[in-house]
Amino acid sequence: MNILVTGGAGYIGSHTVRALQQTKDLIPIVFDNLSTGHEESVPDSVQLVTGDIHDVFFLKHILSEYEIDGVIHFAASSLVGESMTDPAKYYYNNVEGTLHLLIAMHEAGVDNLVFSSTAAVYGEPEKTPIEEDFPTVPTNVYGRTKLQIETMMKDFAMAYEMKYVALRYFNAAGADLDGTIGEDHSPETHLIPLILKTAQGVRDHISIFGTDYPTADGTCLRDYIHVLDLAQAHILAMRHLLQGGEGGAFNLGSEKGFSVREIIDKTKEVTGRDFRVTEEARRAGDPAVLIASSEKIRRVLGWQPEHSSTEEIIASAWKWHQAHPYGYAK
Ligand code: UFG
């Protein structure tokens, strides 16, 4: 079976491509415009098609040419802060880009879609752990675009043959265990890579954004999930659709929350390095606690996280950062 992976040169995409390769029967073909993805992350043995999801004609051609059976769709803009200052970019790349993909899939007769969604669709939850049927009230443009895409996919699924799974990730982190691929965003805004860059001395200090949250140590709690466990979930979701299973939205988290301070302390322990930590005001739009219930994906898809302890997440990311202190290109 041939699987088109849009955004397959990005962080989660590249790990999913590796996981697909290991299945032997699901063959990944990467489709990426390389605007934020890294060509170096695509293995030589995988076909890379450089193209843009806005180009319906080209997409349709690729879907037919490679006899694609299913699409895993990562290609998107994904910086929460930027989405607030440049909403046009987010509605264009995420909503309109996915509409173009859906049209191309429909016209090419490709029916199976696994979509990279986010915990940001829930906004500030009233209670935790968050279940899939909780209210979806995103507090930022990024989350709103992902929610609109989920609605679009639902409408396409009702009208046509199409089926989809939306995976709502909590905090993706970690890297492939061999240290050859990992997280390389520009600018980097995520907590764990920023702490690791500080441990390496590439950054001077790590700032804690907010110490007055209603949590045990006053800092935000997040549910960190290893990128390898995320990658496996995409494969399970694609197999589920290919076997005629029912689609829908699934949370992807480890069901445990760790505070910013706990992650900093754990990083000091795992790396054996000490570094400067400062305290700053809250970052706008950060919910105090985001923890997933992953009962649905465990029950329906048989998903089991295997690498999502904070030790393994931090140790694997540390291995990547040590081998590539300035990311891919340098
Ligand atoms: N944080 C700091 N200092 C930093 C960076 C982050 O204290 O320098 C804190 C944040 O305030 C937050 C926690 O660390 O409390 C995690 O922040 P990240 O930026 O790593 O991740 P987010 O929880 O903000 O974002 C993640 C995903 C988004 C997704 C969002 C859902 O990265 O894609 O969850 O709310 F939209």
Ligand 1 contacts CB of residue 119 (under 6 A): yes
Q: To the nearest 10°, the Cα dihedral for 22, 310, 252, 228?
A: -10
Q: Tokens 């806005």 correspond to what residue?
A: 54
Tokens of 1: 């079976």
Cβ proximity of 313 and 173 under 8 Å: yes
Reduced 3-state DSSP string for 194-227: HHHHHHHCCCCEEEEECCCCCCCCCCCEECEEEH
On whether the pTM is more than 0.95, the answer is yes
Index of the ligand 1 atom closest to the CA of residue 140? 36
Cβ proximity of 28 and 7 under 8 Å: no
DSSP 130: B
Q: Which backbone phi and psi does 174 adopt, to 5 degrees?
A: 90, 180
**pLDDT tens sequence for the chain (330 residues):** 999 999 999 999 999 999 999 999 999 999 999 999 999 999 999 999 999 999 999 999 999 999 999 999 999 999 998 999 999 999 999 999 999 999 999 999 999 999 999 999 999 999 999 999 999 999 999 999 999 999 999 999 999 999 999 999 999 999 999 999 999 998 999 999 999 999 999 999 999 999 999 999 999 999 999 999 999 999 999 999 999 999 999 999 989 999 999 999 999 999 999 999 999 999 988 899 999 999 999 999 999 999 999 999 999 999 999 999 999 976
Q: Which pLDDT belongs to residue 284?
A: 85
Cβ proximity of 320 and 252 under 8 Å: no
Cβ proximity of 174 and 316 under 8 Å: yes
Ligand 1 contacts CB of residue 168 (under 6 A): no
Q: Whose CA is nearest to atom 36 of ligand 1?
A: 120
Q: Which pLDDT belongs to residue 164?
A: 98
Q: Whose CA is nearest to atom 5 of ligand 1?
A: 191
Q: Which of 250, 253, 251 is nearest to 223 (CA)?
A: 253
> How far apart are the C-alpha atoms of 280 and 272, rounded to whole Å?
25
From the CA atom positions of the chain, what is the Rg in Å? Answer: 19
Q: Which pLDDT belongs to residue 274?
A: 98
Spacing, Cα 33 to ligand 1 middle (Å): 26
Number of H helices, E strands in the chain: 11, 14
Q: Which pLDDT belongs to residue 330?
A: 60
Residues marked active site are found at 142
Sign of CA dihedral 120, 123, 125, 131: negative
